[in-house]
Amino acid sequence: DAGVTQSPTHLIKTRGQQVTLRCSPKSGHDTVSWYQQALGQGPQFIFQYYEEEERQRGNFPDRFSGHQFPNYSSELNVNALLLGDSALYLCASSSGQRHYEQYFGPGTRLTVT
Amino acid sequence: GENVEQHPSTLSVQEGDSAVIKCTYSDSASNYFPWYKQELGKGPQLIIDIRSNVGEKKDQRIAVTLNKTAKHFSLHITETQPEDSAVYFCAATLPNAGNMLTFGGGTRLMVKP
């Protein structure tokens, strides 16, 4: 049973560029949430997707956007990258019946130079 | 919104000793409290969780206690082993926030052989 997978593992971008990160949820899960984890801190909620719609959003600017596909996989897009966007981006999935239990992927390490 | 504080930030114990990590939350309506273990280079792994209608939950060497009146919950690890060394995060979620998790700042646990 495959867990949550994310790609790419690492990414280096220049300030002002745009980036797309990808996530495939755990088998049987239909809800995907994205979190940003700065070095030495706890993850911070960005947004959540269910039924291909953004259902909940944290305190992040509109530069952060996402998408969920019919197969429940998801993308996180960040425009106009800032140095402060450097972080580990985590994807978590859950299922409708046990939606509280979230399972995280290994993350994508984004470095903005 | 919810705010979660976690203590201590670092904890060093001798193998075989017990470790206790404490968290407080701000919103009395929070109803779900998971604990995650994050090893270097990996995403957070759900190790145990508790709901607001339960005071204590145990799973082998790990236990979590919840005091709703005081708005705090704790993780207890008995008979610690070197492989328990990791960063541990507590989190909380509100019933009207979907499954948006608010995380504490993390505790780095070091188990010395």
Whether residue A100 is predicted with pLDDT greater than 90 in this model: the reply is no
- Cβ separation B44–A43 shorter than 8 A: yes
User: Residues of chain B with pLDDT > 90: what percent?
Assistant: 87
CA pair distance A49, B61, nearest whole angstrom: 35
Among A5, A23, A45, A99, the residue to mutate for chain B (most B Cβ within 10 A): A45
How confident is the model over B37-75, as pLDDT tens digits? 999 989 999 999 999 888 999 999 999 999 999 999 999
Give A49-63 pLDDT, tens digit per residue.
Answer: 999 999 989 999 999
Residue B5 has pLDDT above 70, yes or no: yes
Q: 3-state SS string over A41-106?
A: CCCEEEEEEECCEEEEECCCCCCEEEEECCCCCEEEEECCCCHHHCEEEEEEEECCCCCCCCEECC
Q: What pLDDT does residue B52 have?
A: 85
- Closest Cα partner for A91 from A25, A28, A40? A25
Band (pLDDT 50/70/90 cuts) for residue A97 is low
Average pLDDT over all residues of chain B: 94
**Could you tell me if B24 lies within 8 Å of chain A, comparing CB atoms?**
no
Say what the pLDDT of residue B53 is: 85
Average pLDDT score over residue span B12-23: 98
Q: Is residue A5 scored above 70 in pLDDT? A: yes
A66 close contact with B: CB closer than 8 A: no
Distances B110 to A23, B10, B20 between C-alpha atoms, Å = 31, 8, 12
Tell me whether residues A44 and B46 touch, CB distance under 8 A. no
Tell whether A68 is within 8 A of chain B (Cβ): no
User: Given CB atoms, is A100 within the 8 Å cutoff of chain B?
Assistant: yes
The distance in angstroms from the start CA to the end CA of chain B is 41
Contact: B101, A94; criterion CB under 8 Å:
no
